[in-house]
Every structure is written in structure tokens, then in C-alpha cells.
Structure 1
């Protein structure tokens, strides 16, 4: 029996509104909002186009609902995995893995669509990452820049599935290929690419570059003398 993106109910058990949202999530993730139509979303959900408009009003409003749901669902999954320690629960991970795959693909596509809603969701994810870093005692030199780059690095692999699949020789849209890709991400995060000395040298070179730039010089001049 197919599991819905909520993770625990079959499609026939969902409300019409939820079926529409879930169908839209899959279609938007595969093709983007511009290429999707209300008619095909309605067909995939097993409802009429009029019912889609009744529940959501427009395709843009439906997309907003999908954005909100995807962010909420991913936050819930992260909480379950990292805070509740359910990564060792094989039954849970087997159920939640395809859900997370869909949410990640959807959010990556949503960010690339470039709407105001997508920009707002991206900013929300950066703020959530800042909070996560702070809560876990990670103190980078520039918290906002770190969080922004962290989000992009995480989502970037989901925005380029064809390229990553070709390079890996495995389709990252399948559970096996996706797990292999995620294992590579864990491996990257688990192994520092620079020694502390190399990192210090890089920071020093970047600080010198910033100080010589017009913007950096102006900031330095504006600082009160000690």
C-alpha cells in the first residue's frame, strides 16, 4: 500500500484537500510550478479542477500550502531523527526516507522557481539553521553566512538530480541512490577538509582581501578608534 507524504496514512484515508496537496507536491517536485496545471493535479488527486480551486483558490495558493507543509514536515523529520534519536529505528527510517526524499526534491525545485514565497521559505530555513547551530554550540565566524551556505549546500544536491545521478552511476531519486548520496554527505561533514592551520591561513588571506576592498576599507574607517 502506498504511503502518503504525511508518512502514516494510505491515500484513500486522506481528505480531499490533503490528496490535492500531496499530488501537487509530487508534480511540482518533478516539473516545477510553471509547467504544472490545475487539471493534471486534480487528475492525480482523483478530484475535479473545481474542487482544487474551491480548496486553494489558485495554483499559487496551492504552491504556498505545499511550501508550508514541506518545511513543517522536514522540521518534524529532523526533530525525530536528531533530537529523538530515531535514526536507529529501522522501521521508522524505512517509512520516513521516501517522505524526506520527496520533501527535499520539492523544496529544491521551489527555491529554483524564484517566487517571493520560495524566497521567504529559504530565509526561514536559514534562520532555523542559525538556531540549530546556536543550540548545538557551533559558533562560526559569521553565523548568517554559515547558515545560508549550509542550507544551499544541503539543498544543492537535490536541485541537480540528473547531474548527480550521472556522476554517481545511480539514480538518486531511488531509495538506494538517495541513501548512497546522503552517505556521501555524511562522509563529507564527518571529515574536515582543512587542517586548523590551513583554515587559519585561509581566514587570514580573506580578512586581508576584505580589508583592502572599498567596502571593507569604509567599514574600518567608520569604526571608532580605541
Structure 2
């Protein structure tokens, strides 16, 4: 009996807990693991945010250029517009386009893209049914009845070039007007009198520069196709 008690006392006296140094080492290891885990999680969150921002910018660019593509494709002819259907003046791109409304005769519409306070805004006139309405819309500003649709923010500048057959890419409206004058003169030739008036501008190149971009984004559109 005495032997058993002594053995139990020896066993109890040999049992011990963690020392202070061991606890400090364990806490240090857990702290390192926590910091590494936090950094990894932070990188994942930052990466996800970067991808989300890039996808949003891509969506905004797609919306802007898709609307420009539709307007260029539905551009009226120069004789319908009574002048160049597509014109560029500074940071303003103007397109005279055909407008099809359900249950109504075809109309024309004047569309302008301009940069206002770092944002690309698409201004569109109401449907124009007469030559007088068209002339007033072309001469005036974006007044009553015009719609304004903001398409993209953070834009530094927007510029455009026009492709004129036999001339090439140009930003000069005199080249466009020269093509219109040549087409009008060709109508006086008997052999070409019944031919349709060709477009003075057959291609449109639009460049958009934004603060978040290292270089401008450029897109090319066919006119009237």
C-alpha cells in the first residue's frame, strides 16, 4: 500500500504544464499565421476589386461604342441631310441619322457627342419631319425637346477622324465638303445623272482618352452599313 502511494506521488510530481517560453513561442507562431492569412485575404479582396473595376470600365466602353456604332450605321445620306451627314468640330461629333418609329413615317434625327465636365454625353434631337426642322436643329444648340444621355465619366478628350474616299483619314471638314462638291458635279454628267449620290464619309474612327487609361481607346465604324 505504501509503495502504491509513493508511486502515485512520484507520477504527480513529474507532470508539468507549458512553460512561459513555450506559450510565448506558440503565441508568436499564431500571430505570424494570422498576419500571413490577413495579407492573403487582403490581396484576394484587392484583386477582386480590381477585376470588378476593370469589368465595369469595359461595360461602360462597350455601351458608348455600341451606341456610336448604331448611330454611324444608321447615318443619313448627305443629300438627305442637305450637308455632310457626319461632321467633326473640336470635341463634338455630330451625326444626322435616320430614325424609324413604329407606326410613323421615317424621320431624321441630329445626334451630338460632346465632352461635358469630363463626361461623354449623347445629345439627341426630337424626330425631325421637315427640312425646316432639320435646319433649325443643325444650326441651334441642344434646346427644348433634346435628350441628354451621359455615357461615360472620367474622360479627358474625345476625337474623331473621318474616312473620305480618294482622300483617306482626315479631320478636316473641307475634305468632306470637297467630296460632296465632286459628287454634285458628277450628277451633271449625263452618264452619271441617274446614279445615287455617294457618301462623302464612309468610315469613322473615334478615340476616347480617359484618366484611368495609359493610352486612348480607338474604335472604327462603317458609316451607313
User: Structure 2-normalised TM-score?
Assistant: 0.21
- The structure carrying a bigger strand percent of its residues is 2
Q: Which has the larger radius of gyration?
A: 2
User: Structure 1-normalised TM-score?
Assistant: 0.21
- The structure carrying a bigger helix percent of its residues is 1
